[in-house]
A and B are shown apart, each in its own frame.
Chain A
Amino acid sequence: MLRQRGKISALATLAVGIFLLASMQIAFAQVVAWGSQGDQVSAIQKKLKQWGYFDGTVTGYFGQETYNAVILFQRKNGLNADGVVGATTAAALGITLSGGAVSVGSFNESEVYTLARLINGEARGEPYIGQVAVGAVVLNRVKSPSFPNTISGVVYQPGAFDAVSDGQINLQPGQDSIRAARDAMNGWDPTGGALYYYNPATATSGWIWTRQITLSIGRHNFAI
């Protein structure tokens, strides 16, 4: 009897495990869902209340009532009723999920924001100079004939930045990263013209170590 029980639990765990692995996605996309808190949730609650889908209090916390209201809204508007506010639902609500002090519509701001997201993905937690330095490397590459000619071209060049490959670039940047992006675009270059950087503790390439180092700060060496 016990043996059979053992077999059953083993099978059960295996089945559940496979199911979870198969459906797992590494998602860093901007979504607001059950458990989220903050200004964005309040904005969503206000809108839903305005239109009669939500009659609780605007608390800024996404719980059962907010979830129900979102599902109702999504059903009524022909959206996928999953109770999660992603890009399409947010657009239907008339709010933007980007948050922060950047409005992506105005001139230059999308470049600032792309740079800020890269800096955040690559160097958050680093000393401020280290963050500006990452931005400066991107701008030096734009100027160099050996790399793409635009900020987005440099950032999204295949294999260039880990934060792009693993999705960390999609995290919302903090105020520090946005300021670092603006400073880098305004000409602050703590790297003296560097085109490359790497983490000396983890870099496996022999080639990168042959480049002349111009700045060493925090976790990174910056090199020409």
Chain B
Amino acid sequence: MQKKHHMLLYTFLSLALVAAIGTAVYQGQRAARVSRTLEDVYYSAVLESISQLQSMEVKMNKLLVSGTPQTGVTLLSDLSRQAWEVQNNLTILPLSHSAMEPTVKFASQVGDYTNALVLKVANGSPLNDTDIQQINQLLTNCVLLSGQLQAAQQQMIAQSMSYTADNSVFYQDMSAQTRPLEQVGDKDKGIDYPTLIYDGAFSDARHMGPPQGLPQGDVTKEQALEIAKAFVGPERVTNVQEGAAIQGSIPAWGVTVAIPDDTLNVEVTKQGGKILWMMPERAEFTQTLSVDQCKEKGKAFLSNRGFGEMVESYYQVYNGLAVINYAAVQDQVLLYPDLVKVQVRMDNGDIVGFEGNNYWMNHRQRELEKPKITEAEAKDMVSSRLEILQTRLCVIPYRGTEKLCYEFTSTWDNSQYLVYIDALTGEELDILKVIESEAGPLAA
């Protein structure tokens, strides 16, 4: 009787073991299939990059001998698209970021640079000697880069390199056993990428410049505490404490301000003692007030805190907060670069959030030129399909500089559009479409 018992048990156990091994083998095969599919994706990304670069070499050669602006524009548009595709393909690869960064950056900048040239050529200015020199340099680099990628490709085939085993070396140093593609970025063995110098927002020597809106003179940590308290409103504040300080583009002191039902995190700029930003720790408020009422509250708050004339523009609503954009005004011209955002509680109208980075970087008394085009002449440049509702003069940030424009708020086919016509040249600089999103109207 006991023997039979054992027999059953042994049979059961053997079956269980077989099932276990069977499952393991099946899982192993499945994993190998997935791994191969992934390797194929990475390999095809390398091949795509090589193919794009070779096409770019041909196009650059053609560009250097093109005679008309039309050909130039077509070639430059293709070049910028292809350069961005190379950048995209390179970032798919699971390789060390510090090794690949110079190459990725190069591809991205070629894309931005050729894109900037499109506008120049389309406006009738042919490529000058500096441009020709730059393009020649870029051509050399593209040839070198595609050569190295091809060498890497050969190695990949010869050694059946697997990129899925031991990948994700993102934040680590390049190990002694570098993968062939990573040598492309190597300072000794790789390519010497040039510093592109051109009038564009993406050049290496991008002049962010000092914050133009901050007054001179530094404030101390203790002064920062007082400034934060005054900004929040002394009657609300129950406690102030030192918070996390920031380095970076605008260094600032951190202050944690306690109010009866929340904590506000405030950053006070070290230079000039202005409020860089403010954020509430928690926010989940009921919506009792209207957006218009909140806009008024925000305006009053800014006026009270010494911001001068500010006009509201875009807004969003989330978590019971009205997040409203305000732009500064000078001589009735709206200054979009001088932008602040205010978060207003929709239950009681209190201000709990603020963001002023753009304002402090850009705000100053500007020497505004008088428009060379009349409003009527500018209107002629706007598409006749659009029905214009409102017009005003404004300054917009444009490709690294600022432009004085006429802003036409208009509608067509149930959508609202904002058209910006350069007030000095009559060029149509930009068109924004207002889109209703989950959180409010967005302009894109």
Interface, chain A (partner B; CB < 8 A): 4, 8, 11-12, 14-16, 18-19, 21-23, 102-103, 106-109, 112, 127-129, 132, 145-149, 153, 157-160, 165, 175-176, 178-179, 182-183, 186-194, 196, 198, 203-208, 212-217, 224
Q: What is the distance, in angstroms, from A163's C-beta to the closest C-beta of chain B?
A: 13
A159's contact among B88, B168, B283, B341, by CB below 8 Å, is which?
A: B168
Q: Is B87 an interface residue (CB 8 A)?
A: yes
Q: How large is the interface on B (under 10, 10 to 19, 20 to 34, 35 or more residues)?
A: 35 or more
Q: Which residues of A lie under 8 Å from residue B357 when comparing CB positions? A: 187, 189
Indicate if the CB atoms of A214 and B248 lie closer than 8 Å: yes
Q: Would you list 21 pairs from A and B whose C-beta atoms are within 8 A, ordered by A residue?
A: A12-B16, A15-B20, A18-B24, A19-B19, A21-B24, A22-B20, A23-B23, A23-B27, A106-B438, A107-B442, A112-B438, A127-B281, A145-B202, A149-B84, A158-B95, A159-B168, A179-B318, A192-B246, A207-B171, A208-B171, A215-B248
A106 — which chain B residues lie within 8 A by C-beta? Answer: 437-438
- A67 CB to nearest chain B CB (Å): 25
Q: By the criterion CB–CB under 8 Å, are A183 and B247 in contact?
A: no
A220 to chain B, nearest CB (A): 11
Taking the closest CB of chain B, its distance from the CB of A221, in whole angstroms, is 11
Residues of chain B within 8 A (CB-CB) of A165 are 168
| Cα–Cα, bound, A192→B436 (Å) | 30
- Whose C-beta in chain A lies nearest to the C-beta of B356? A187
15 new A-B contacts, CB < 8 A, other than A178-B318, A188-B277, are A15-B19, A18-B21, A22-B26, A107-B438, A107-B442, A109-B438, A148-B88, A159-B167, A159-B171, A160-B97, A183-B279, A188-B353, A192-B250, A214-B247, A224-B248
Query: In the complex the two chains form, is A186's CB within 8 Å of B316's CB?
Result: yes
CA distance A132 to B246 in the complex (A): 14
Residue B82 CB within 8 A of the other chain: no
Asked whether A128 lies within 8 Å of B112 as measured between CB atoms, the reply is no
Q: Beyond A18-B24, A217-B244, is A158–B171 a contact (Cβ under 8 Å)? A: no
Is A214 touching B438 in the complex (CB atoms < 8 A)?
Answer: no
Known A-B contacts A179-B283, A193-B248; the reply to A15 vs B171 at CB < 8 A is no
- How far, in whole Å, are A198 and B280 apart by their CA atoms in the complex? 24
B319 to chain A: closest residue by CB:
A179
B173 touches A182 (CB 8 A): no
CA distance A160 to B252 in the complex (A): 28
Contact status B279-A129, CB under 8 Å = yes
Q: Does B170 contact A (CB under 8 A)?
A: yes
Cβ of B119 under 8 Å from chain A: no
CA distance A186 to B363 in the complex (A): 19
Q: Closest chain A residue to B112 by CB distance?
A: A145
Are the CB atoms of B171 and A147 closer together than 8 Å? no
User: B93 on the interface (CB 8 Å rule)?
Assistant: yes
Chain B residues within an 8 Å CB radius of A186? 316, 323, 341, 355
A188 engages B355 (CB within 8 Å): yes
Stretch at the interface among B51-59, B98-106, B125-133, B176-184: B98-106
- Knowing A15-B16, A18-B20, A157-B91 are in contact, say whether A192-B355 is a contact too (CB < 8 A): no
Contact residues in B for A207 (Cβ distance below 8 Å):
98, 171-173
Min Cβ gap B30→A in Å is 11
Contact residues in B for A147 (Cβ distance below 8 Å): 91, 104
**B23 & A145 in contact (Cβ 8 Å cutoff):** no
> Nearest Cβ distance between residue B336 and chain A, in whole angstroms?
13
Interface of B toward A, CB cutoff 8 Å: 6, 9-10, 13, 16-17, 19-21, 23-24, 26-27, 84, 87-88, 91-95, 97-98, 101, 104-105, 108-109, 112, 167-173, 202, 244-252, 265, 267, 277, 279-284, 316, 318-319, 323, 341, 353, 355, 357-358, 435-439, 442, 444
Expressed in whole angstroms, the minimum distance between the Cβ of B162 and any Cβ of chain A is 14
Query: Which residue of chain B has the shortest Cβ distance to A216 in the bound complex?
Result: B244
Whether A11 lies near B17 (C-beta < 8 A) is yes
Inter-chain CA distance A214–B252, complex, in Å, is 10
With both beta carbons as reference points, the residue of chain A lying nearest to B18 in the complex is identified as A15
Min Cβ gap B412→A in Å is 18
Which residues of chain B are near A128, meaning CB under 8 Å? Answer: 265, 279-282
Contacts A158-B94, A215-B247, A216-B244 given; does A4 touch B17 at CB 8 Å? no
- In the bound complex, what is the Cα–Cα distance between A102 and B23 (angstroms)? 40
Contact partners of B101 in chain A: CB under 8 A: 146
Question: Is the pair A160, B170 in contact by a Cβ cutoff of 8 Å?
Answer: yes
Complex formed: what's the CA distance from A208 to B358 in Å? 29
CB contacts (< 8 Å) of B97 on chain A: these are 159-160
Shortest Cβ distance from B101 into A: residue: A146
A108 x B442 contact (CB < 8 A): yes
Verify B438–A108 contact, CB threshold 8 A.
yes
